[in-house]
Structure 1
Amino acid sequence: MRKRSRFKLLKYLAVAGLITLLFIFAFNGTLLWPSLPKKTPTPKELHDVISPSTYRFILNQPELCEKKSPFLVLMIPVTLKNREARTAIRRTWGQHGLIPGVAILHLFVLGQPAQSEPVLQEQLETESKEYGDIIQMDFVDSYHNLTIKTMMIMNWVATYCQAAWYTMKIDADVFLNVRYLVDYLHGRDESSRKDYITGSVISDAVPHRDSYNKWYIPEDLYPDTWYPPYVSGAAYVFSTDLARKISWASRFVLPIPLEDVYVGMCLHVLGVKPVYATRFLRLRNLFEVRKLSYERCTFSKRIVVNGFNPQNLLRIWHDFQKSQSTC
């Protein structure tokens, strides 16, 4: 009888403990599941700074997706002076027909320089006529305006290419293993077609309050202690439905000059959590935002690797295209 009584007592204690935990979570749930921020509209004069509707197109490709529904659209931020990078990308991971039977488009996204560059602008317009892969708006192209450029990307996809399955924002100095990416996305379940964004997730970032820091953010722009989870801006992939939703959410987020953090803030408004892209018990990061020394077998098991100039990208791509059967 004593054993039975002791067993009942332990059972009651376990149930009571469970109820207590549920009670704590119910009243203090923000510790585990933060509530969504209140949707307070950003003052119009501030939202207009990042809104693509404030600016006009200099170059556009509005009919690019009309005759096809791409599986993937690569949106590549560059500047007017990045002609060598654009050429290298067209000859490597941006080339047409790279994966037979899979429609992939690439577009270079630009603003305009603070000081007029008529010769370079004329060359860009000639380049646009030849390749049909350039969109340009008349905001000033600068590091602190990358948030504007990112919202331009979201707006363009939402307006002109809604039928695409996925969109990738990828910097021009990044190596992209296109086949691995396509295989990875084909391996996702149906849920990845909605509210899905993946890359190298940063979930422990804090605002830098030192005004001399490159990533300085004053408290009046962002008063919280932590940033919400976001994906590194070097490269990330998202289901195309998010382009429209992020554009909408931007109406409730104060602009900051950190474009990847800003996208994370918009995702937080939407209640969307970025997904970390890993393989083999999370030990292999598929989106390498650090620079790795080139080794064909290592690169064959990554989606992106960061930090290559155009000459290195061409050299690496030439070697990478060789047989990888030994990897």
Structure 2
Amino acid sequence: MNPYLRNLLILTLIGTVNFFAFMFISGRSSLLFSKSPIATKSAIASDTEASQRTRIDIEDLFRHGAHGYQPPSAKQPAVIKDTEEPGRSFIFRSPTNISRVLPKDDYLSFRTSFNTTHVVRQIPVDSSGQNTVPSPGNLLALYNRDDSARVNPHDYRLILDEPQACFDASGAPKEVFLLVLICTIHKNFEQRRAIRETWGSPRETGGKRVITMFLLAYNEDARLQRQVEEECSEHHDLLQEDFQDTYKNLTLKTIMAMKWASTHCPQASYVMKTDDDMFVSYDNLVKHLASTKAPSVNHAEGFLINGGPIRDPKSKWYMPKDIYPGVKYPPFLSGTGYVMSGDVASKIYEESLDHKYLHLEDVFVAICLDALKIKPVKNKDFHNWRTAYSYCRFRRLMTTHMVQPSEMHRIWSDQHRHHNIRC
């Protein structure tokens, strides 16, 4: 053979082998074989997109620390624009009650009524002998207690509520093992529908009851609000308060979750906070929590991050020194999904009332946990980034991020179709 052709063939072969090795190592093999239930069109960004994300890469490194850093996703915008007030690089206004939206007599029209004259049985009691699980009829009064004298009162009203969620028809509290609270926004109807039909559909797993609820805030679009109210009437799994639904109010939504869990479902053994672009395995999570390894009190776990404040005003995660002067955050659990023992939800809510508000919700929760002397636990099966699909990989994980509704269906179907495969 001509030496020139032989050398050309050898170089071509080496290049092909390197290409396939790169595709497998980077988790993009699904582009070659089209077998992944995960859509992959966003897996490879253009050179322009990659260059625009350079600053985000560096921000992630500073925010997450060297050990917690993961490659940024294509979902993250390259340039973060502040839309709250023009002409200022960072605007944070303490939450106010300006956005109250409905008259008091109207904002609970979708609640299910209860006969609260029934005696509530099998209720845990605290050290003073008082009931710790209220009756459904008393939930609103408990939720609307006056905390105005506290540093950071969460005095927002419920627009949509489901007081029956953790109680049976007689008003007796259900035995709830896991309460899952999912942050969402009005327009994400397809995400909520997909979750209800896939990973959020089980009401019981491993003999343990699971309750799934969605968290919303106020949106000025009257049409979207009417659609959400219709959705609430049909599914009875939406909770809404009357603060503005913005990125910098995500902490308010998390505090709302902790408050609702502590007043409306205090008997839950565990509480999870997650987002509507996640895929969560209830089977794996319940099996893990039901094991003797999972503490029943003072426990919080998820994807643990060690990082510090970013001082660049253009960053999505900008933290001014006057709001947080420290150079390091307490170790914090990624807000994409974490779980805690039921007592911790109420402790976080109570502690939050005495701390200055921070718009980074996972950092704010970490500050509360640090003050409570509760050390968050790292769990390698919680993922805060997009995970390349394989049947066996998803049989082990608790959470993964950036999953589209169509992907939820494909993953759910594939996991059930091949459930007898040994990994």
Instruction: Provide the TM-score with structure 1 as the length reference.
Output: 0.80
1:298 aligns with 2:401: no
Q: Distance in 2 between matches of 1:136 and 1:256?
A: 21
Q: Which residue of 2 aligns with 1:198?
A: 301
Quote how far apart the aligned CAs of 1:46 are.
5.7
Q: Distance in 1 between matches of 2:259 and 2:148?
A: 20
8 Å CA contact retained: 1:79, 1:112? no
Give the alignment of 1:121-136 within 5 angstroms. Answer: 121-136=225-240
Structure 1's 97 and 252: CA in aligned 2 closer, same or farther, altered over 3 A?
closer
Q: Distance in 1 between matches of 2:167 and 2:410?
A: 35
Structure 1's 272 and 100: CA in aligned 2 closer, same or farther, altered over 3 A?
closer
Q: Distance in 2 between matches of 1:110 and 1:44?
A: 26
Q: Distance in 1 between matches of 2:330 and 2:288?
A: 26
Q: What letter corresponds to residue 86 of structure 1 in structure 2?
A: R
Give the alignment of 1:104-119 within 5 angstroms. Answer: 104-113=210-219, 116-119=220-223
8 Å CA contact retained: 1:200, 1:287? yes
User: Could you list the per-position Cα deviations for residues 29-84 of structure 1 after superposition, in whole angstroms to 9, with x for gaps in the alignment?
Assistant: xxxxxxxxxxxxx9958613xx1xx2111100112112312110110000011111
8 Å CA contact retained: 1:174, 1:304? yes
Secondary structure of 1:255's match? coil
Secondary structure of 2:417's match? coil
Secondary structure of 1:173's match? coil
Secondary structure of 1:235's match? strand
Secondary structure of 2:186's match? coil
Q: Distance in 2 between matches of 1:238 and 1:100?
A: 19
More helix by share: 1
Secondary structure of 2:356's match? coil
Quote how far apart the aligned CAs of 1:286 are.
0.5
Give the alignment of 1:1-327 within 5 angstroms. Answer: 47-48=152-153, 51=154, 54-67=155-168, 68-97=174-203, 99=205, 101-113=207-219, 116-189=220-293, 192-202=295-305, 204-277=306-379, 285-324=380-419, 325-327=421-423
Q: Distance in 2 between matches of 1:289 and 1:196?
A: 19
- Structure 1 residue ranges (4+ consecutive) displaced by more than 6 angstroms after TM superposition: none
Q: Distance in 2 between matches of 1:313 and 1:276?
A: 25
Structure 1's 85 and 128: CA in aligned 2 closer, same or farther, altered over 3 A?
same
Secondary structure of 1:288's match? coil
Quote how far apart the aligned CAs of 1:89 are.
0.3
Quote how far apart the aligned CAs of 1:311 are.
1.3
Q: Distance in 2 between matches of 1:185 and 1:225?
A: 34
Q: What letter corresponds to residue 186 of structure 1 in structure 2?
A: A
Q: Distance in 2 between matches of 1:43 and 1:130?
A: 35
Q: Distance in 1 between matches of 2:268 and 2:148?
A: 32
The CA RMSD over aligned residues, in Å, is 1.7
Residue identity (%): 37
Q: What letter corresponds to residue 322 of structure 2 in structure 1?
A: D
More strand by share: 1
Q: What letter corresponds to residue 351 of structure 2 in structure 1?
A: A
Q: What letter corresponds to residue 401 of structure 2 in structure 1?
A: N
Q: What letter corresponds to residue 160 of structure 2 in structure 1?
A: L
Unaligned runs of 5+ in 1: 1-41, 278-284
Secondary structure of 1:64's match? coil
Structure 1's 223 and 104: CA in aligned 2 closer, same or farther, altered over 3 A?
same
User: Could you list the per-position Cα deviations for residues 207-265 of structure 1 after superposition, in whole angstroms to 9, with x for gaps in the alignment?
Assistant: 00111111001011001110001100000000011111111111332111100000000
User: Could you list the per-position Cα deviations for residues 132-154 of structure 1 after superposition, in whole angstroms to 9, with x for gaps in the alignment?
Assistant: 10010110001100000000000
Q: What letter corresponds to residue 326 of structure 1 in structure 2?
A: R
Deviates more, 1:71-80 or 1:312-321: 312-321
Quote how far apart the aligned CAs of 1:101 are.
2.4
Q: Distance in 1 between matches of 2:150 and 2:347?
A: 21
User: Could you list the per-position Cα deviations for residues 266-318 of structure 1 after superposition, in whole angstroms to 9, with x for gaps in the alignment?
Assistant: 001101000111xxxxxxx2001121111111111111111111111111111
Q: What letter corresponds to residue 106 of structure 1 in structure 2?
A: T
Q: How many residue pairs align between the two structures?
A: 271
Q: Which residue of 2 aligns with 1:22?
A: none
Q: Distance in 2 between matches of 1:131 and 1:55?
A: 23
Q: Distance in 2 between matches of 1:100 and 1:206?
A: 39
Secondary structure of 2:353's match? helix
8 Å CA contact retained: 2:180, 2:210? yes
